[in-house]
């Protein structure tokens, strides 16, 4: 081990900018490097490659710090860091009166919770790819097909890495991209363009852009995310052809970019991507979904971000950047719960964020401690909390956080990434696994395949629609062809018979009384077939309707007489009520399901259900938002279904309020005129205002 002790001369000690320079320099060495504040005298060393660790050491001007290194380049590391510290770490400005203020503050949309502070990393192409030797032939078609296959292999490998991390659902995003890489529509068009004289790299990029624009023109948030995926795949194939690669960060860093590919999030070595802030994007984009599952804070749609960060940290954390980096803007702080972004934060803001982080960690620990209790308000009103899942593989995670069943099994994921439809036997096996995991006392509500819209299934041969979210999807498919849903319903009946449970199903996009009656006909026809075959079959199936279309909300009293329960899909309901595409950042103010127009619609649905004596659930994103959950329960919603990771927070929020308080909150929310006011009301009730 090699060490040195030195006095810190910087006016503000190791504040954000000089600390970032030190961290980037330390990250350039292979040795383990530690820093200890000798003046503080606590004997506790921190990792010198961690910005948060160095900041937490509390090093002020005049303090003496001990730097030590252990490894094959320890002497070089200590000497380089000694010289940096002696020279003031490039901090020529001193503290000055404005030291406690950030150089710039930007507000975006929160997309994944958590606080991150670190050097800026700009994901730029820089470096040489290692994908094996390209074909020696000059045939551009062969080179394009080779590069596409190599990209598909890379993406498949990244998907497998996510599977190893128990991120099965998120791995599907990259598996879908793997299929995109060798999709004939993309590859054949690139080959055609190259045959016409275009450079191979340019041909691939142009082909991907054509496909992406086709998807983006459909004006839907999930399709827009898929358009971004196509561009990502095209860029990856192009990099392979050009022999280049994205330079990965070498120190824990925060990505700052116009947008970011989900595959890149998975590709960054573990621990080196600690946050993401984007000028574009949306909370439902694939990059946000993937980062959220990995515990990485994300802020999207941060208007003015790139201008504010101009010239800031362009090489920070990069494997090819200077260890000094630019003098200003090398550090950024983001709050994925509020959307706040600070360029070059001052000491006051760093202290505030540290306090927020500690408070939220304590809050999360208190929430997790409630997992063994049934969810209820402080005065005992029970509110069952269920989980949204995409496959039986999600069941253990949901059960671990205390889910009381499944409120939304998105079965359309069984139909994706296939060359043909899943057989009845394959579907039955998946449904049975989920049912048996939760047992007879915890319901598993299976949503019949919501195919169409953003979920195009090529092997089904569905015609292209200019606006698929207003087209033939979900239950509407059965008006033209009944077999798809009949097969699914037979599989559910058989799975329930073998699992010894009573099945629960619901259909999406119910808009009319005819839609509801069609669902009941299909249910009964499927059961008759199973019974005729002599297979075990339950006596009944709880049959529900998703309320996500304004016409269904208006017809709620009549529909309720045909159903066993309602489940409100707040995502689509908000989009349809406010006529605002969820994927359009410029319409962010209209994408909040706490808008009074949406809440008044939900209240009318509850009233219609109450008249027929059936329960109402909510399974959209609003149900997973603690503020939204409180308002929904106040409006009379009986149960909530959300992603497993959200259940702790909802349970804790409910435990802190009474049913009377929630009813008063709902009355005030219905009388409000905008979502911001409603959120403020909920925050006031929970003490987060």
332: left (phi over 0), alpha (psi -120 to 50) or beta: beta
Query: Residue 243: left (phi > 0), alpha (psi -120 to 50), or beta?
Result: left
Inform me whether the pLDDT recorded for 688 exceeds 60: no
Q: Give the domain-ending residue among 229, 245, 261.
A: 245
| 338 and 192 share one domain | no
Nearest to 409 by CA among 395, 419, 420, 422: 395
Residue 131, SS3 per DSSP: coil
Residue 603 maps to a domain: yes
DSSP 412: G
pLDDT tens figures, 166-211: 565 567 677 778 888 888 878 988 999 998 888 889 999 999 888 8
pLDDT attached to residue 655: 95
User: Would the CA dihedral through 524, 513, 469, 590 be positive or negative?
Assistant: negative
- Which of 15, 286, 504, 595 does the annotation list as catalytic? 286
Number of structural domains (the chain) is: 4
- Residue 317 domain flag: yes
- Predicted pLDDT at 492: 98
Residue 318's pLDDT is 42
Q: Both 40 and 188 in a single domain?
A: no
| Cα separations in angstroms, 59 against 33, 36, 50, 117, 362 | 17, 9, 14, 17, 26
For position 572, what pLDDT does the model report? 87
DSSP code at position 138: -
Q: Are residues 419 and 491 in the same domain?
A: yes
Match 């590859």 to its residue by tokens: 187
State how far the Cα of 134 lies from the Cα of 659, in Å rounded to an integer: 66
- Examine the pLDDT at 324 and tell me if it is beyond 60: no
Does residue 495 share a domain with residue 389? yes
The kind and range of the H/E element at 526 are: helix 513-532
Say if 190 falls within a structural domain. yes
Residues 439, 334, single domain; the answer is no
To the nearest whole percent, how much of the chain has pLDDT over 70?
A: 82
- The encoded tokens of residue 461 equal 């041969």
Write the pLDDT tens digit of every residue in 453-497: 545 566 666 666 656 566 677 788 788 778 889 999 999 999 999
What is the distance of C-alpha 148 from the center of its chain? 27
CA atoms within 13 A on the CB side of 408: 29
Candidates 16, 14, 11, 17; CA nearest to 35 is 14
The domain boundary residue, chosen from 192, 218, 245: 245
SS3 of the chain: helix, strand, coil, percent, to 5: 50, 15, 35
pTM: 0.67
For residues 497 and 437, the answer to whether their CB atoms sit within 8 Å is no
Between 529 and 587, residue with greater pLDDT? 529
Q: Is the confidence at residue 589, as pLDDT, over 70?
A: no
The torsion of the CA quartet 580, 584, 590, 594, rounded to 10 degrees, works out to: 100
Provide the pLDDT confidence category of residue 426 given band limits of 50, 70 and 90: very high
Q: Please, how many CA atoms are within 13 Å of residue 92, restricted to the half-sphere of its CB?
A: 5
Q: Evaluate if residue 305 carries a pLDDT over 80.
A: yes
Q: Does residue 532 share a domain with residue 448?
A: yes
Is 426 in the same domain as 520? yes
315 in the same domain as 221: no
Q: What is the pLDDT of residues 616-666, one digit of tens each?
A: 999 988 999 899 999 999 999 999 999 898 899 999 999 999 999 999 999
Residues 460 and 445 reside in one and the same domain: yes
CB-side exposure of 228: number of CA atoms within 13 Å? 25
What is the dihedral sign for C-alpha 414, 281, 618, 545? negative
Q: Which candidate in 15, 63, 504, 619 is catalytic?
A: 619
Q: In this prediction, what percent of the chain has a pLDDT beyond 90?
A: 39
Q: Which one has a higher pLDDT value, 599 or 57? A: 599
- Of the listed ranges 126-130, 270-274, 426-430, 437-441, the least confidently predicted one is 126-130
For residue 43, the domain's CATH number is 3.30.1340.10
φ and ψ at residue 680, rounded to 5 degrees: -65, -40
- Determine, yes or no, domain membership for 371: no
Closest CA to 499 of 563, 441, 413, 565: 441
Residues 128, 120: Cα–Cα separation, whole Å: 22
* Angle, vertex CA 673, rays to CA 668 and CA 675, nearest 5: 85
pLDDT over threshold 80, residue 266: yes
Contact 88, 22 (CB under 8 A): no
pLDDT at 322: 28
State the chain's mean pLDDT as an integer: 83
Residues 6+ apart with CB under 8 A from 194: 140, 141, 144, 200, 203
DSSP 587: G
- Checking if the pLDDT of 140 tops 70, the result is yes
In this structure, the answer to whether residues 634 and 525 fall within a common structural domain is yes
Q: Tell me, yes or no, if 163 is annotated catalytic.
A: no
| Tokens coding 513 | 């009384």
261 and 403 in one domain?
A: no
DSSP string, 228-267: HHHHHHHHHHHHHHHTEEEPPBSSSEEEEES---HHHHHH
Let me know if residue 91 belongs to a domain: no
The residues near 164 (Cβ < 8 Å, ≥ 6 apart) are: none
Asked whether residue 263 is assigned to any structural domain, the reply reads: yes
Position 97 in a domain: no
Cβ count near 686 (within 10 Å): 16
Looking up tokens 């150089």, which residue turns up?
A: 103
Task: Find the CATH number of the domain harbouring 341.
Answer: 3.50.30.10
Token pair, residue 20, equals: 């970032």
Q: Examine residue 623 and state whether it is found in any structural domain, yes or no.
A: yes
Domain boundary, last residue among 300, 330, 364? 364
Give the range of the structural domain holding residue 421, as residue numbers without chain letter.
377-686
* pLDDT score of 94 more than 50: no
Are residue 570 and residue 629 in the same domain, yes or no?
Answer: yes
């Amino acid at each position: 081990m090699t060490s040195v002790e030195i006095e810190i001369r910087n006016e503000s000690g190791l504040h954000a900018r000089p600390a970032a320079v030190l961290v980037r320099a330390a990250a350039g060495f292979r040795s383990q490097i530690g820093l200890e504040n000798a003046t503080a005298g606590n004997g506790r060393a921190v990792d010198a490659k961690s910005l948060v660790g160095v900041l937490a050491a509390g090093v002020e001007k005049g303090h003496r710090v001990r730097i030590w290194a252990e490894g094959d380049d320890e002497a070089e590391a200590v000497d380089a860091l000694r010289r940096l510290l002696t020279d003031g770490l490039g901090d020529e400005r001193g503290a000055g009166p404005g030291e406690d203020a950030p150089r710039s503050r930007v507000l975006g949309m929160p997309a994944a919770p958590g606080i991150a502070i670190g050097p800026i990393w700009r994901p730029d192409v820089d470096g040489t790819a290692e994908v094996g030797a390209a074909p020696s032939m000059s045939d551009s078609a062969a080179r394009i097909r080779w590069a596409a296959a190599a990209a598909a292999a890379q993406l498949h490998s990244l998907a497998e890495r996510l599977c190893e991390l128990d991120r099965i659902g998120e791995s599907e995003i990259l598996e879908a991209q793997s299929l995109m890489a060798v999709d004939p529509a993309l590859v054949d068009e690139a080959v055609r363009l190259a045959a016409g004289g275009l450079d191979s790299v340019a041909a691939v990029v142009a082909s991907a852009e054509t496909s992406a624009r086709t998807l983006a023109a459909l004006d839907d948030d999930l399709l827009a995310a898929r358009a971004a995926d196509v561009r990502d795949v095209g860029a990856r194939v192009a990099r392979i052809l050009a022999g280049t690669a994205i330079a990965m960060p070498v120190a824990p860093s925060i990505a700052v970019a116009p947008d970011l590919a989900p595959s890149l999030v998975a590709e960054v070595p573990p621990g080196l991507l600690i946050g993401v802030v984007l000028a574009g994007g949306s909370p439902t984009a694939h990059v946000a979904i993937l980062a959220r599952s990995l515990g990485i804070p994300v802020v999207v749609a941060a208007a003015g971000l790139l201008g504010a960060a101009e010239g800031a940290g362009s090489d920070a954390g990069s494997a090819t950047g200077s260890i000094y980096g630019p003098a200003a803007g090398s550090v950024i702080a983001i709050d994925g719960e509020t959307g706040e972004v600070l360029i070059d934060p001052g000491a006051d803001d760093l202290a505030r964020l540290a306090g927020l982080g500690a408070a939220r960690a304590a809050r999360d620990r208190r929430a997790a401690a409630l997992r063994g209790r049934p969810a209820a308000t402080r005065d005992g009103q029970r509110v069952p909390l269920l989980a949204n899942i995409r496959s039986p593989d999600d069941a253990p995670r949901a059960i671990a956080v205390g889910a009381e069943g499944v409120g939304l099994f998105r079965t359309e994921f069984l139909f994706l990434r296939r060359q043909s439809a899943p057989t009845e036997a394959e579907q039955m096996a998946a449904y049975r696994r989920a049912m048996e995991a939760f047992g007879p006392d915890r319901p598993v509500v299976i949503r019949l395949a919501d195919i169409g819209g953003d979920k195009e299934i090529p092997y089904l041969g569905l015609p292209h629609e200019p606006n698929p979210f207003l087209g033939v999807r979900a239950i509407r498919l059965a008006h033209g062809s009944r077999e798809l849903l009949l097969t699914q319903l037979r599989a559910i009946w058989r799975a329930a018979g073998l699992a010894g449970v009573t099945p629960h199903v619901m259909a999406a996009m119910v808009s009319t009384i005819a839609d509801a009656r069609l669902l009941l006909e299909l249910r009964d026809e499927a059961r008759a077939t199973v019974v005729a075959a002599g297979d075990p079959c339950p006596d009944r199936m709880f049959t529900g309707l998703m309320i996500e279309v304004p016409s269904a909300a208006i017809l709620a009293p009549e529909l309720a007489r045909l159903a066993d329960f309602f489940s409100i899909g707040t995502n689509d309901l908000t989009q349809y009520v406010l006529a605002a595409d969820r994927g359009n950042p410029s319409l962010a103010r209209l994408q909040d399901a706490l808008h009074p127009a949406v809440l008044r619609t939900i209240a009318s649905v509850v009233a219609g259900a109450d008249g027929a004596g059936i329960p109402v659930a909510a399974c959209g994103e609003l149900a997973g938002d603690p503020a939204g959950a409180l308002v929904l329960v106040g409006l009379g919603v009986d149960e909530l279904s959300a992603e497993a990771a959200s259940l702790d927070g909802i349970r804790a929020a409910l435990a802190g309020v009474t049913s009377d308080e929630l009813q008063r909150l709902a009355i005030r929310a219905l009388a409000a005129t905008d979502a911001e006011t409603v959120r403020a009301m909920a925050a006031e009730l929970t003490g987060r205002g």
